[in-house]
Amino acid sequence: MVELKNVNVHYSSGVDALVDVNLRINDGEFVFIVGESGAGKSTLMKLMMREIVPSSGRVFVNGYNLAKLKGNKIAKFRRSIGVVFQEFRLIQDYTVYENVAFVLRIADQSMKYIRQRVPYVLNLVELANKARNRTRELSGGEQQRVAIARALANDPGLLIVDEPTGNLDPKRSYELVELLKDINRCGTTVVMITHEHDLVRYFGGRIINIEKGSVTFDENIGGHDEDE
């Protein structure tokens, strides 16, 4: 669950990136966050992953009051969420398997669990056959799916995906959203940040539009997604 109450983010440069934002995303939802460049989407994402704290207001994610978190509680909180960055942030010299296993080792998981969990999440993103390949040998779309598998490794309640379709052709973009929808159907809350209005309109569902730091639209719209 994500809840923002009267949140303001004022950067020292003088910019008000978010202005009195109130927002609640319940467990199990699939939400698109849309807005033009500079609207405040990344700032919202940084708040949700506790990279920054609000200038005023409160942020709750997965039961944690984020402004109050300190030290190793921050690390514990971060393991309750999965984040897929635009630039993936994978270790290129590692194999696909090692990239996913790495985050489980940091979380002190047993070897036995890691040996089960890594193939499971790689299977989810249809990359089981590439487990032993070095990450640098994969295409951009495949690397993105490794990043999704890694984000799912710790079985997070919330998955945040930042502009995932930026470098994908339209067909792959639709497939990617379908994959995220499948992940959502398995119980993970998914928040996808994007500026692609066409894609969002096609799938429909809950759409939150941010403009100049404010939520200007937050509604469920019907899409063309036959499965829904």
Q: Which residue's entry shows tokens 């994500």?
A: 2
**Nearest-angstrom CA–CA distance, 211 and 26:** 22
Interface residue with ligand ADP, options 2, 4, 7, 17 (CB under 6 A): 17
**What's the min distance (Å) between Cβ of 17 and ligand ADP?**
4
**Nearest-angstrom CA–CA distance, 40 and 118:** 34
Nearer to ligand ADP, 17 or 138 (CB): 17
Contact partners, residue 180, CB within 8 Å, separation at least 6: 30, 148, 159, 161, 164, 190, 192
By the 8 A CB rule, do 94 and 134 touch? Answer: yes
Q: If binding is defined by CB under 6 A, does position 38 make contact with ligand ADP?
A: yes
Listed ranges 11-19, 124-132, 140-148, 219-227: which one lies at the site for ligand ADP (CB under 6 A): 11-19
Nearer to ligand ADP, 7 or 96 (CB): 7
**Nearest-angstrom CA–CA distance, 26 and 44:** 16
Q: If binding is defined by CB under 6 A, does position 164 make contact with ligand ADP?
A: no
Interface residue with ligand ADP, options 2, 4, 7, 35 (CB under 6 A): 35
**Amino acid code (one letter) for 193:** I
**What's the min distance (Å) between Cβ of 194 and ligand ADP?**
10
Nearer to ligand ADP, 38 or 187 (CB): 38
Q: If binding is defined by CB under 6 A, does position 87 make contact with ligand ADP?
A: no
Q: What are phi and psi of 115, to 5 degrees?
A: -65, -25
Nearer to ligand ADP, 41 or 117 (CB): 41
Could you tell me how many residues make up the chain?
228
**Nearest-angstrom CA–CA distance, 23 and 210:** 11
Interface positions with ligand ADP (CB under 6 A): 11, 13, 15, 17, 35, 37-43
